[in-house]
Amino acid sequence: MIELPEKLTITWLRDHYLKKSLDPEQVVLEIIRRAKATARMNIWIVRPDMDLIRSYLERLAALDIESCPLWGIPFAIKDNIDLTGVLTTAGCPDYAYLPAESAAVVRRLTEAGALPMGKTNLDQFATGLVGTRSPFGETHNALREDLISGGSSAGSAVAVAKGQAVFALGTDTAGSGRVPAALNGLVGWKPTCGAWPSSGVVPACASIDCVTAFSNSLNDCLVVDKVVRGFESSDPWSKEFPALSARKPEMICLPEKEPEFFGPFAKEYQAAWDKSVAKILKVFPGTQTLDCSILEKGAKILYEGPWIAERWADLGGFVESHPGSVLAVTEKILRSGEHFDAASVFKAIHELQAIKAETKKLLKDVVLVMPTCAGTWTREQVRQDPIGKNSDLGKYTNHCNLLDLCAVAVTSDCAAENLPFGITFFALAENENLLCGAAAAFNQFMTTRSLVYH
């Protein structure tokens, strides 16, 4: 058998499948071995197992590899997304249920030949950006186990980073599809809300939830996007958005105000951001700056305003009827939403609508670049201050879904050894093609530079 690389991509696997130098069962067996070897990292809730995967492997014989873009491609599923016949826990054992059918995104992926490996660990009920709020254990960072993995899509990101999936599904309400990408050296693709169906997904804030993908390359995320994108009649939040066609934007912008960084690696993050800015200026010479204060104003509404009540509306009944089943930190956050009245909700909706109108003017035909994370911490530091540290992680992510933006988190130069640093490209919902064009241009520059220096 050909030795599998540490990090897997669709292109590499398909090339070997087409040459018949590798078969999917060999890949699955190696992933099962890798998952067992890293069990202490708490990546999986339902770990890769041949009994789970075999039926999907057997179906490949009836599928044409040429017409199935994900034929034999292993993927991981965040455990708030349904997979037929496998418990969905959302990170809470007492909440678990057995879905009769897979979520729409999972169904579309398996129909294209993708192989579900298992269900990954997460911050309970997708409430958190740290990856430490799980009764199934804290998910370790893929590169430095003392550091947080980021969340809430913790296990999904680390599964990809540790070569246990080619891509993984996450969800994103406040940054859960982007923060773990940055902290584990991955690409995190967050499409426009509604472009991917969310039926069969345990809601956090249903009105702004989004299914996302992690991978080792932008191209892999876009292959997944092409398979998953499209209107879904079973999903009341689904919308019809056109297929992506990358187009380089006429204008790239950076925040006018110098970003702030926190935590034990603040200086390293600042230096990495400065280097990233220098690269952006080389790729996009006409780069300008924008006053992003309106985005900060929008971000504050998510957790300081009544949107937290949407989480309580979905989960409050369970919390009340199952005392002791929910982690203390998760329950505290959820309960902070039970005191908002209808008037405060409508007041916030009206305020948000005005902010969205200003954002549309600000980002018209523009792609904005910001740091993905303001810092990172050790898992011990987060234990000492679970809410404060989590809040800091969302500094440059919380605004995105509320303001109806699409985003892609990509890697830049490392801040230090085994300490990746990421930037995020943002665009208006209707400008996903500009987002793709900008990220692809930056990725090409980074790839060319890497080839030159190595």
Task: Indicate whether 320 belongs to any domain.
Answer: no
pLDDT per position as a tens digit, 240-274:
998 888 898 989 999 999 999 999 999 999 999 99
**What are the C-alpha distances in Å from 186 to residues 82, 156, 165, 358, 412?**
24, 11, 12, 31, 10
What residue numbers bound the domain in which 202 lies?
10-228
Task: Indicate whether 100 belongs to any domain.
Answer: yes
Mean pLDDT (whole number) for 215-242:
96
Residue 304: pLDDT over 90: no
pLDDT per position as a tens digit, 327-361:
999 999 999 998 898 899 899 999 999 999 999 99
Stated as kind and residue range, the H or E segment containing 270 is helix 266-283
Residue carrying the six token digits 């989004």: 210
202 close to 97: Cβ distance less than 8 angstroms: no
Mean pLDDT (whole number) for 171-198:
97
Q: Is 432 exposed, middle or buried (0-12, 13-18, 19+ CB in 10 A)?
A: buried
Q: Is 339 exposed, middle or buried (0-12, 13-18, 19+ CB in 10 A)?
A: exposed
The pLDDT value given to residue 453? 38
Residues 6+ apart with CB under 8 A from 230: 108, 197, 240
Q: Output the DSSP codes for 382-413.
A: HHHSHHHHHHHHTTTTTHHHHTTEEEEEEE-S
Catalytic one of 102, 149, 153, 176: 176
Task: Indicate whether 294 belongs to any domain.
Answer: no
**What are the C-alpha distances in Å from 76 to residues 115, 193, 344?**
9, 21, 39
The pLDDT value given to residue 451? 42
What is the domain-level CATH number for residue 100? 3.90.1300.10
Structural domain tally of the chain? Answer: 1
pLDDT per position as a tens digit, 58-98:
999 999 999 999 999 999 999 999 999 999 999 999 999 99
Mean of all residue pLDDT scores within the chain: 95
Strand partners, 428: 405
The pLDDT value given to residue 450? 53
pTM of the model: 0.96
Residue 216: pLDDT over 70: yes
Task: Indicate whether 105 belongs to any domain.
Answer: yes
Longest pairwise C-alpha distance within the chain? 64
Catalytic one of 149, 152, 153, 156: 152
Task: Indicate whether 244 belongs to any domain.
Answer: no
Task: Indicate whether 342 belongs to any domain.
Answer: no
207 has catalytic annotation: no
% of the chain exceeding 70 in pLDDT:
99
Which pair of tokens denotes residue 362?
A: 């600000």
pLDDT per position as a tens digit, 5-42:
999 999 999 999 999 999 999 999 999 999 999 999 99
Task: Indicate whether 215 belongs to any domain.
Answer: yes
pLDDT per position as a tens digit, 134-164:
999 999 999 999 999 999 999 999 999 999 9
Residue 452: pLDDT over 50: no
The DSSP secondary-structure symbol of 416 reads: B
395 has catalytic annotation: no
Stated as kind and residue range, the H or E segment containing 78 is strand 74-78
78 has catalytic annotation: yes
Stated as kind and residue range, the H or E segment containing 252 is strand 251-255
Residue carrying the six token digits 């911050």: 123
The pLDDT value given to residue 250? 87
Task: Indicate whether 202 belongs to any domain.
Answer: yes
